[in-house]
Amino acid sequence: MNSLPVDLLLLSIATPLVAALAISLGAPLRLAKGIATVAFAVPALIALFLWSRFSGETQHATYAFYTVYNTGLQAIGIHLSLGLNGISLPLFVLAGVVGLAAGLYAIQSNAERLKTYLVLLLVMQGGLMGVFASVDIFFFYFFHELALIPTFIMVGIWGGKDRNYAAMKMTIYLTAGAMLSLIGLIALYHKSGANSFDLITLREALLAHGLKAGVQNYIFGLLMFGFGILVSLWPFHTWAPLGYGAAPSSAAMLHAGVLKKFGLYGLVQIALPLLPLGVIEWARPLAILAVVGNLLVIGFITIAQRDLKQMVGYSSVMHMGYAFLGLTTFAAAGTFGIGGVVLMMVAHGFSVALLFLLSTSVYHRTQTFDMTEMGGLAQKAPVMSAFFVAATMASIGLPGFANFWGELTIFFAAWKFSPLLTTLAVTGVVVSAVYGLRSVARVFFGPQSEAFAKVAAEKPVTDLTCCEKLPALILLAALLFVGFWPKSISTPLNSALEAIYHPPAAVLAPAETAK
């Protein structure tokens, strides 16, 4: 299924990287903005086009638009192989759309050293497109690191309060998580006997020869904690709210909205289907960490936040608890909960990116992130108020938005796994409503605080500009589109899950099967 004249997957990766090089070679600022606009738009348009062309027919194994390039590293099993299946497709679209919104918001921001800022964002965007287009897990990991490095730099240079400490903490935690993940991936490569990092070849080798239960448990544990740190699994989460609070808005949008999905995607696409016995072994500990830690502990910490951006950061960490809970339902509910995890990842990516964008827009008008020093903003900025209310409702999981389908699916699957943990997880919706609605009330309604009144007197408060409305509208439209038509994601997703996921006995070592 690849009758296209050019490899659009490769083009979606190369365009931002080439644009970053062109801008860094000395393009004038006005030209740099134009180049960046095109470079952010091209991956988004390619992603949407490929989504429209994805009919469920596959070209190679479960992948469509599949292409392999000669890297000169074939002797050790490394190939640049690009393709999309029903799992990677929605996340590839997420990367393109959020990248476009973040790029447009950065271009109009007039940040200091704007050209350098755009170069780093473009490198990050190229890496993100490569993460979800890669079939070879070496390049899957490589593109993640390519996208991660600019994050540290942007936090350190353009970050806000405590940016140096935040950048250092992010570096330590994310490097540790990446190293654990790499060890797990290398162990999987070694134990599979496939002599290849290609995911299709690994899957075929494991189906043919299998892995002992103990080996699966060991490798899955490495991947679970490695990827879990990258996704902010409790108690390894403290880097995330601090980092997002300090990060410039577009960097926070790309990292929280897209890059943080790398770990969950790795578990769904690689770890769970290849190591199902490891999933069963680790399911209950992971579920307890997700529900008690991410959903309840972090949820109550989120309620206590007075800083708007910190609240959004903690909210992002909290909602990862739903995704981790969905992963643990595999043994009890099959792939039903896994599909909910992917839906949740996409919906969370759009909603948290929109909330970070709007939080910064609020700051530009109030000169503070302290919600106790705001109030009454809806009268002066009704459009921004409407966007923020919609984004909050989406984050809570209101029907009509994409988040609703992800959370609902996970709850149904989790009930088969553990009614008690599911009941506790559902209380997370109440917690989300408390902090979400309270933030709306504090920022946009009620009387103005004295501090905000002084700011408004010195500089009249205006509503969102056209340059701010466009990226916000892109993200809100994506949330509503998936919310009203979830089958646009779930149909190809279900086909891929049925083809990739196998019963635990399918990847069990033959000797153990005989026993």
CB 349 within 8 A of CB 98: yes
What is the C-alpha to C-alpha distance for residues 239 and 241, in angstroms, rounded to an integer? 6
- Burial-class residue 495 by CB neighbours within 10 Å (0-12, 13-18, 19+): middle
Q: Got the DSSP string for 183-229?
A: HHHHHHHHHH-----BHHHHHHHHHHH-B-HHHHHHHHHHHHHHHHH
Residue 112, number of CB atoms within 10 A of its CB: 9
pLDDT of 1: 46
Residue 75, number of CB atoms within 10 A of its CB: 7
CB 365 within 8 A of CB 444: no
By C-alpha distance, which of 356, 346, 389, 381 is closest to 452?
A: 381
Which alpha helices (DSSP H) does 294-401 contain, by range? 298-303, 308-327, 330-333, 336-366, 377-380, 382-396
| Three-class DSSP category at 507 | helix
Rg (CA), the chain: 22
What is the C-alpha to C-alpha distance for residues 274 and 252, in angstroms, rounded to an integer? 32
Half-sphere exposure of 413 (CA within 13 A, CB side): 27
DSSP 8-state secondary structure symbol assigned to residue 445:
S
Per-residue exposure over 424-461, b if at least 16 CB sit within 10 Å of its own CB, e if not = bbeebbebbbebbeebbebbbeeebbebbeebbeeeeb
Query: How, if at all, do strands 64-69 and 80-84 pair?
Result: antiparallel
pLDDT of 58: 63
Q: What is the pLDDT along the chain (515 residues), one digit of tens a residue?
A: 445 556 899 999 999 999 999 999 988 888 989 999 999 999 999 999 999 888 766 666 788 888 888 776 666 678 888 989 989 999 999 999 999 999 999 998 877 888 899 999 999 999 999 999 999 999 999 999 999 989 888 888 887 777 888 888 888 999 999 999 999 999 988 888 878 888 888 888 888 777 788 888 999 999 999 999 999 899 888 888 888 888 888 889 999 899 999 999 999 999 898 888 888 889 999 999 999 998 999 999 999 888 888 899 999 999 999 999 999 998 887 888 899 999 999 999 999 999 999 999 988 888 888 888 887 888 888 899 999 999 999 999 889 999 999 999 999 999 998 899 999 999 989 999 999 899 888 888 877 777 777 776 777 778 888 888 999 999 999 999 999 999 989 888 888 888 888 766 666 666 565 45
DSSP 8-state secondary structure symbol assigned to residue 6:
S
pTM above 0.75, yes or no: yes
249-284 per-position pLDDT tens digit = 888 999 989 999 999 999 999 989 888 888 888 999
Q: Copy the structure tokens of residue 27.
A: 């393009």
